[in-house]
């Protein structure tokens, strides 16, 4: 298997539309199943998330292929908004990204926390990488990987 070479950069104003479209591609089925998809509500959620904290953009050969957010808190690292374009899913890129985040957490001796929608298939990736469910309800699954 050929190694995947990717670059990470901070999101800029020019990335907002891409991020909304990426979010829709990644989450629409799960959001429809849990809440129902309302374009205005989803645009509002995306805009609010954008204002709260901008994610990093993943690029391969200059093409935007995904995004994620890492926030370091005093007691843990938060990992979220992890989306990949469908054609880049299932090829090991998610594992590579998470390996880097896990290494950061191990270096800082901090646990990693995340939250995802019920029904999102990314749960199996997180479980394989040592994340455990802290709590869940009809809408969300909260997970954590303890510090090493």
Domains of the chain: 7-145 (3.40.630.30)
pLDDT at 122: 85
pLDDT at 121: 80
Separation of alpha carbons 118 and 101, rounded Å: 23
pLDDT band at 5 (very low <50, low <70, confident <90, very high): confident
pLDDT at 127: 93
- Mean pLDDT of the region 36-55: 90
- Mean pLDDT of the region 42-51: 91
What is the Rg, in whole angstroms, of the alpha carbon atoms belonging to the chain?
15
pLDDT exceeding 90 applies to what percent of the chain?
68
- Would you say 139 and 106 are in contact if contact means Cβ atoms under 8 Å apart? no
- Mean pLDDT of the region 117-146: 91
Separation of alpha carbons 89 and 21, rounded Å: 16
pLDDT tens string 56-111: 999 999 999 999 999 999 999 999 999 999 999 888 898 899 999 999 999 999 99
Q: What is the 3-state secondary structure (H, E, C) of 77-145?
A: EEEEEEEECHHHCCCCHHHHHHHHHHHHHHHHCCCEEEEEECCCCCHHHHHHCCCEEEEECCCEEEEEE
Question: For 57, phi and psi rounded to 5 degrees?
Answer: -105, 135
- Would you say 147 and 131 are in contact if contact means Cβ atoms under 8 Å apart? no
């Amino acid at each position: 298997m050929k190694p995947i070479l990717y670059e990470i950069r901070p999101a800029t104003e020019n990335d907002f539309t891409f991020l909304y479209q990426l979010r829709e591609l990644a989450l629409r089925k799960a959001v429809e199943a849990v809440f129902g998809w309302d374009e205005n509500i989803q645009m509002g959620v995306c805009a609010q998330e954008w204002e709260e904290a901008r994610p990093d953009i993943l690029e391969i050969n200059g093409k935007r292929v995904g995004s994620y957010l890492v926030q370091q808190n005093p007691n843990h690292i938060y990992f979220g908004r992890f989306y990949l374009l469908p054609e880049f899913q299932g090829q090991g890129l998610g594992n590579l990204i998470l390996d880097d985040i896990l290494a950061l957490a191990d270096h800082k001796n901090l646990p990693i926390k995340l939250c995802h929608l019920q029904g999102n298939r990314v749960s199996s990736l997180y479980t394989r990488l040592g994340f455990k469910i802290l709590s869940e309800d009809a809408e969300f699954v909260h997970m954590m990987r303890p510090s090493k």
